[in-house]
Chains A and B, each alone.
Chain A
Amino acid sequence: MTNNVDPVTVEIIRNSLNSCADDMNATLVRSAFSPIIFEGRDCAVALHDEEGRTLGQCSGVPVFLGNIDVCVKLAIERYGEDLQSGDVVIMNDSYLQGSHLHDVTTVSPIFFEGECVAFAATRAHWQDVGGMDAGTTTSSTSIYQEGLRLGPTRIARSYEIIPEWEELLRLNSRLPDALIGDLNAQISAMRYGEKRMTDILDRFGVDVFLGARDKMFENTANNERQLIAGLPDCTYKAHGYMDNDGLGDEPVKIAVSVTIEGERMIVDLDGTSPSVEGAMNCGLPQTLSVVRLAYQSVINPAESINGGSFLTLETRVPEDCLLNAREPAACEWYFSPLGLLADLIIDCLGQAMPERAVAASYGDSMIVSFTGRSAERGQWIIFEPTAGGWGGSPGRDGESALINLSNGTFRNIPAEVYESQVPVRIEEFSIRKDSCGAGERRGGCGVVRSYRTLEDCDIALWFERSLTPGWGIFGGHSGSPPAIEIQQPDGVVHSNLKMRPTRLPAGTLVRTMTGGGGGYGNARNRAAELVALDVSNGFISEKEARDTYGVMLIGSEHADLEEA
């Protein structure tokens, strides 16, 4: 191996690895069958070295990117030397890879001159992997109710799915064609990755490639060490509560401490609730992934992740903890507590680095799901997360109506697409006035999204963060918590934030309201012109301007100003 690869070659190889991952992801998105992948981009792609360390990766869903390496290592452990070019290993086990069973990871080895030199990997959301309810379930109490569970399993040879495996997968899904279509899209992406990696290795040779890899890891690790060493040694703490586990009424505590100790950062989740009965447990790898995501977002947001990342970061999770799920804990909604966890870690890091502090966000995926069966459409499912408000920061207001941290590049489904596909009409999609946390830099507003059912169908809801909404920092106020109003045509009204699949009659109105982001700094210090602009743009009411910001607006003519 060459130890002295010049900085130019290191940079060319680093760029080409990330570009390769981007192209793999483009291949996956282009050829996927399910809207949640091609429209929602609920997928991610990464390249790893022969030990499973990250070489390059592509943005998609950020919570996937911090732990695909775990799956590559599992595939290596399971098959080792037995892996051949064109083999595809898949897995979705919640305890091994951390997520729910819908998220399916694929791993393929990349060979060069007879040696396994790298791995291509993808993860994508499969819409239906069996389980007690179509699409998603809110009421599972064990993993066995959530669908087909796969440990690392070789499912294809020479990139062709083994026929008996295809039959098994098809038999376990309500949407078998989409499932196989999506799996083939993932395989296409990995095939592309192999081809491109071979080109890169052809050009540079294995020695230079490995030398550049080591240099790249070393540079990233050194950079992170310096960044952490520059912070004062101290311990910062934060905690909050999830509303409940989806079954009972008990709040569920999430507690975090962040300790800076020289060049190391220790994130400890001691004090966090034990496993819960409801489907809100999360396997350790996803917990680690979110710790990494929060760390990356504050410490080094402009840099890409590789095998040198996170070497300064240590995460401690108690044995019996809902963020360290053990069989048979239910994990369908694993991502929900992770939103609060991320906000808490960001809060701790903001105490350590006040210039990079950001107030908490609305913080949950806020899922609305409708399912039904009709003569015209057969079985249908539609499922989407909802945007909300983000936190203010020094010099900047939080953004309104933006998707939560764990859903990254997810775009809302246009009403015209939604209504063309399912018998549900969207009657409103708007900014939720006065939901933003007040502050010198205010939080962003949540949204109002209203659905009218046109046929009898089942609705499931999972809205969180009413006990711990997006909180303010340095004197800023909290954003509004989420709210739900369901009005049946017979006058029955519900306001539950979580709802297991429930049959609703045609004509029911489901009005969902997501929370706002927390404010930064004292609201009384906000410039009066900005308050006036917020009123004219509909983010806050005149009453809020007067009562919270102390700004009286006279007449309807407002200053013609640009937003901060």
Chain B
Amino acid sequence: MNKVVSSTGSVRVSADIGGTFTDIVVQDQRTGSTTTRKIPSTPDNPANAVLQGLREVSETACIDYFIHGTTIGLNAVLERSGAKTALVTTKGFSDCYAIQGNDRRDIYALDYRKPRTLVPPRDIFSVRERIDAKGRIIESVQMSDLDAVIEACERENYEALAICFLFSFKNSVHEIQARDYLAAHLPQLSISLSSTVSPEWREFARTSTTVLNAYTAPPVKRYLDQLVGEIRQIAPMTNVCVMSSNGGGMPANTAGEKAIRTLLSGPVGGGIGGEHLSKLLDRPNLMCVDMGGTSFDASLVVNGKVALSSEAEIEGLPIQTPMVDIHVVGAGGGSIARASDGTLRVGPESAGSRPGPVCYGRGGVEPTVTDANVVLGRINPENFSGGAMSIDKTAADNAVGNLAKTLGMGLEKMAEGIIAVADAKMADAMRSITIARGIDPRSFTLVVYGGAGPLHAASIARSLQIKEVIIPLFPGVFSAWGMLQSDIRHDFKTALLSPLSSLDLNVLEDGFQTLAEESTRLVQAEGLETSKVTNCRFMDLRYIGQEFAHTCPLPDGPVDIANVVTAFHEIYEDHCGHSNPTAPVEVTNLRLRTTCHIEKPENVAADPDTNRQYAKSVFVTGDSGGKWIDVHHASRNLLEPATVYDGPMVIEEATTTTYVPHGWDVRTHESGHMFLRDKEA
């Protein structure tokens, strides 16, 4: 992989930090020629691998633009290693964060425990103040109550503080007064206000969002300050951006202040890459799947746009911020197969990366999906991860063989069965994602990437009755590649609860005007070129009495409520299969999305890396049962553009292996992306 960039001109660079490798993608600003490299990750300080990559790149080229997916915020949450944080609430509601939704997600568990919060009850304080549902002040802030908070902060050394008062999305004055008072006494404290972080109703979800921001802001800011400082020394002219969970980039200085928006910074790259493929290949609806050795994530592109969710969860804790809707579907290749009640179960237990599958030889004993692929010859032990990692095929055979004996099956049948159950479960989970959005998965094209994905792509597609699969260029570093396709994107929102029938258009325009001013301030602070900035307005709408609101785009120009209502009924019908044109509609939020376009050259695949082709025995599942046959293996770059090759076939490249089963064919698009087609569909 480690190739020298041939041009001495300027380049755009992206980096995606994974558990094992940090993926770097480098694109020539003028020719579009793209190369990739993998640097071993440095978990103690993830910036080190990134900086090493940038140093290597800067030896031969000038880095113009650098975009980065950071995992610092997410890891702080997963490992509970974020800032020591205090929370201040309205009197009477200090336990709101601990009570959560009070629901039991596992309905049969008698010893069910709620998701673990980031701030324990002893670090939560409350203040006498109250604003009502119309935003009127019922009781003003009792500043003396804040003195206890100041005293506690000094005693307990809190690094961050979240303030969430009831109805602050209607009237933020109390939160601002409290912040000003606290900041005057505690200038070092990083303070997050719920009215700034998430001006939206539902106090628990808003508190959770604000706490997540407070908890992650200090480590994210420290990390970015250090990273940007060091990049300045390597490449002083580089624009440094961070991938935001909403699928856009944001300048690093903004990211340090809005840590909440970096939580899904890494994995969203794949969705953005999908959005780009959708336009390039003229496929409006894509289901994007990232399957690694031990992970499996899915996201959607609908009508050319990556699907966002405004009600996501992290570790079971709600987060109210627009995020690329990434579904963690299961363990992928790491899922463990077991016998239970005479049937085969695959997952949800996972071997993780430690010990990992049996074939990794790190102490795993229970067979996994990856082991089943090794048994069937679909993973070539000599060429796994480009030969970077050795594979113990005998151990995989033994582990799968033991399970086969328990269930009274042959070795290959067992391995096929493990893969079939895993593929069907992944397909079921992906179908649920589309159904929950009211979408039929059959109208989608599947995009599959990640180290393990292209092996399973065709089988998953068939379970979903999807006829076409895209294996993109650089499938092993697709998230990093996707980041290079992004624009700068900022989302703004404000709560506005009103029936449309009695909505005052002046109030509506004022709301959007306030958002536009907020946007302009940020655009100026970031020094973006205003000529490249576009704004799009949205309203969250629903039938009165309903809970779920749908985010509906507004055309430019003055708002015509009658048209808005008609558009809402159509969107509702699309999502739910029925609509109720006589029912009254209400607005819950106004949203503004600001996009600053970034110039990007066309993508051109760089020079081929290997030129191997050979025949090797693979266990192939056919119409009349499976058998071992010699299957054509070829390096990906040997496929002639536009030529159709029939399966079974194995296509190898440095970062992944694609399996084209019997009944499928494959061709390469002029852009270098590869199409698999189900011939029987």
Chain A positions within 8 Å of B, measured between CB atoms, are 6-8, 10-12, 14-16, 19, 22-23, 26-27, 30-31, 33-35, 38-39, 41, 59-60, 62, 177-178, 181, 184, 188, 191-192, 199, 215-216, 219-220, 222-223, 293, 296-298, 301-302, 346, 358, 387, 390-391, 393, 396, 398-403, 408-412, 414-417, 419-420, 425, 427-431, 447, 450, 536-539, 558, 563
Contact = CB atoms under 8 A, between A and B. Distances in A.
B23 interface: no
A23 B431 contact: yes
Contacts of B420: 8, 12
Contacts of A12: 420-421, 424
B140 to A, nearest CB: 16
A346 B108 CA distance: 12
A366 B153 CA distance: 38
Nearest to B120: A537
Interface stretch (B309-317, B342-350, B519-527): B342-350
A463 B112 CA distance: 23
Interface of B: 92-96, 98-114, 120-122, 132-133, 166-167, 169, 201-205, 339, 341-346, 407, 409, 413, 416-417, 420-421, 424-425, 428-429, 431-432, 435-436, 438, 465, 497, 543, 545-548, 575-578, 580, 583
B343 A409 contact: no
A219 B346 CA distance: 17
Given A188-B576, A429-B96, A431-B121, A297 B103 contact: no
Contacts of B95: 401, 429-431, 447, 538
A403 B465 contact: no
A415 B109 CA distance: 28
A23 B108 contact: no
A429 B100 CA distance: 11
Nearest to B91: A428
B103 A403 contact: yes
Contact of B102 (A26, A222, A403, A428): A403
Contacts of A419: 132-133, 167
Contact of B345 (A11, A35, A411): A11
The 8 A-B residue pairs whose C-beta atoms are closest, nearest first, are A8-B417, A428-B92, A387-B102, A19-B428, A411-B101, A219-B341, A419-B133, A23-B435
Nearest to B414: A8
Contacts of B101: 411-412
A416 B424 contact: no
A415 B104 contact: no
B110 A537 contact: no
Contact of A399 (B112, B121, B132): B112
Contacts of B106: 301
Given A191-B577, A408-B107, A431-B95, 19 more contacts: A8-B416, A8-B420, A11-B346, A15-B424, A16-B424, A31-B577, A33-B546, A222-B341, A358-B111, A390-B110, A390-B112, A396-B113, A402-B104, A403-B102, A416-B203, A425-B132, A430-B93, A447-B99, A538-B95
Given A408-B104, A414-B204, A420-B201, A538 B343 contact: no
A479 to B, nearest CB: 15
B424 A409 contact: no
B112 A431 contact: no
Given A222-B342, A358-B111, A30 B103 contact: no
Contacts of A408: 103-104, 107
B545 A33 contact: yes
Contacts of A420: 133, 201, 497
Contacts of A563: 120
B110 A15 contact: no
B107 A11 contact: no
Contacts of A298: 110
Contacts of B435: 23, 26-27, 192
Q: Which of B166, B409, B465, B545 has the most CB of A within 10 A?
A: B545
Contact of A402 (B94, B112, B344, B413): B112
A401 B576 CA distance: 33
